[in-house]
């Protein structure tokens, strides 16, 4: 059977269902933003849920009931602390299993079975899973570093629902990755001695894409951070300015584009054929496209001199 090709009907693959529903919810939100203003009745709660940071608007313009659920956006760092710890633990468990044959803790093994781990087949997935989990952990570690040492946060806020979702998001992503690894009959995972023989061209391509996208995302976050610093690197304000350089020359939110590319690099590492991971990619596409569109509208409404050729999310397209 091809890597990642599951045989169970959809309702028995809870992870696919969850990622499909998330992708559908964000796609619908994106489509609603594309409807011309005034055609549909406005909903303050909906707008408050999908907007965060600079696109949330001035506090005075928002209903008091919404302000009560504000959480500082700088708490984004919490998501990455959770991810580094949780996905570091999963990576450690997988490494122990692959190289020493140590079984997963019972509760984790049970959880993975509930999430559908047993229905996947194919030895190549052990190396793919190991690499993708390592990428996810490295990505979270870099983002944590950026939150503390690169990004300069203003007093921007996110909704409490967004905060709770963000805190659980990387737990779910890590479990999704780990559930792709094949279980053998003894409830232990494929052993590491055959791991290197599983190396395929798409592992190398996925790794190169991951590094390339990560470098660009880092550069974009440096550019954003520098907008609020003087030449000596001292923070001098917390306003929003027009960013220039790197992928900002093509799109308004290249950091969101790079995020999508990072998840696509993982799909490549999975050998292109992992449906569950493509559903994760679809969710990331919809959520990042929505945020990029709202940012694009923010820039165009705030700055009359905003570059006309710059697209929202995808160079030359959208």
Ligand X SMILES: NC(=O)c1ccc[n+]([C@@H]2O[C@H](COP(=O)([O-])OP(=O)(O)OC[C@H]3O[C@@H](n4cnc5c(N)ncnc54)[C@H](OP(=O)(O)O)[C@@H]3O)[C@@H](O)[C@H]2O)c1
In the complex, which residue's CB is closest to ligand X?
Answer: 259
Q: Contact at 8 Å (CB) between 249 and 159?
A: no
Task: Catalog residues that contact ligand X under the rule CB under 6 A.
Answer: 53-54, 73, 76, 151-154, 156, 217, 224, 227-228, 240-241, 243, 255-256, 259, 284, 287-288, 291
**CA separation for the pair 48, 222 (Å, rounded):** 28
Report whether 191 contacts 98 (CB < 8 A).
yes
Judging by DSSP bridges, how do beta strands 157-159 and 70-72 pair with one another?
A: antiparallel
* Residue 188 structure tokens: 């232990």
Q: Which residue has 């509930």 as its token pair? A: 114
CA distance 274 to 5: 7
Q: Which is nearer to ligand X, 76 or 130 (CB)?
A: 76
Q: Which residue, 20 or 154, has its beta carbon nearer to ligand X?
A: 154
For the CB of residue 292, give the shortest distance to ligand X in the complex, in Å: 9
Tell me the closest approach of the beta carbon of residue 257 to ligand X, in angstroms: 8
Query: Cβ closer to ligand X: 182 or 243?
Result: 243
> In angstroms, what is the minimal distance from the CB of 100 to ligand X?
32
Nearer to ligand X, 130 or 313 (CB): 313
Q: Minimum Å distance from CB 159 to ligand X?
A: 13
CB of 97 or CB of 151, closer to ligand X:
151
Burial category of 77 from C-beta neighbours within 10 Å (exposed 0-12, middle 13-18, buried 19 and up): middle
Where are the alpha helices (H) located in 35-123, listed in sequence order? 44-50, 64-67, 76-100, 106-114
Nearer to ligand X, 49 or 224 (CB): 224
> Rounded to the nearest whole angstrom, what is the least distance from the CB of residue 52 to ligand X in the complex?
7
- Coil/strand/helix, residue 202: helix
Minimum Å gap between C-beta 273 and ligand X is: 22
């Amino acid at each position: 059977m091809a890597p990642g090709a599951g045989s169970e009907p959809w309702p028995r693959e809870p992870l696919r269902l969850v990622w499909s529903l998330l992708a559908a919810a964000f796609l619908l939100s994106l489509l609603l933003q594309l409807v011309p203003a005034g055609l549909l009745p406005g909903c303050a709660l909906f707008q408050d849920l999908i907007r965060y940071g600079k696109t949330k608007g001035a506090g005075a313009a928002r209903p008091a009931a919404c302000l009560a659920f504000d959480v500082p956006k700088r708490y984004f760092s919490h998501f990455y602390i959770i991810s580094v710890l949780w996905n570091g633990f999963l990576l450690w468990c997988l490494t122990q299993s692959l190289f020493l044959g140590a079984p997963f803790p019972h509760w984790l093994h049970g959880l993975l079975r509930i999430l559908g781990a047993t229905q996947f087949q194919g030895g190549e997935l052990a190396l793919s899973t190991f690499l993708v989990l390592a990428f996810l952990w490295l990505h979270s570690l870099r983002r944590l570093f950026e939150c503390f040492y690169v990004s300069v946060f203003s007093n921007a806020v996110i909704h409490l629902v967004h905060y709770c979702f963000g805190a659980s998001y990387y737990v779910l992503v890590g479990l999704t990755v780990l559930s792709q690894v094949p279980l053998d009959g003894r409830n232990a995972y494929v052993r590491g001695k055959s791991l290197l023989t599983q190396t395929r061209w798409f592992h190398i391509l996925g790794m190169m894409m991951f590094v390339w996208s990560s470098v660009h995302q880092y550069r974009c976050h440096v550019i954003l951070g520098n907008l609020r610093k003087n030449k000596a690197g001292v923070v001098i304000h917390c306003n929003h300015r027009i960013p220039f350089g790197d992928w900002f020359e093509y799109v308004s939110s290249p950091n969101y584009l790079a995020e999508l590319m990072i998840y696509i690099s993982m799909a490549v590492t999975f050998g292109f054929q992992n449906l569950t991971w493509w559903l994760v990619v679809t969710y990331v596409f919809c959520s990042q496209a929505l945020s990029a569109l709202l940012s694009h509208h923010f820039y165009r409404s705030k700055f009359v001199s905003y570059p006309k050729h710059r697209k929202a999310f995808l160079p030359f397209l959208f």
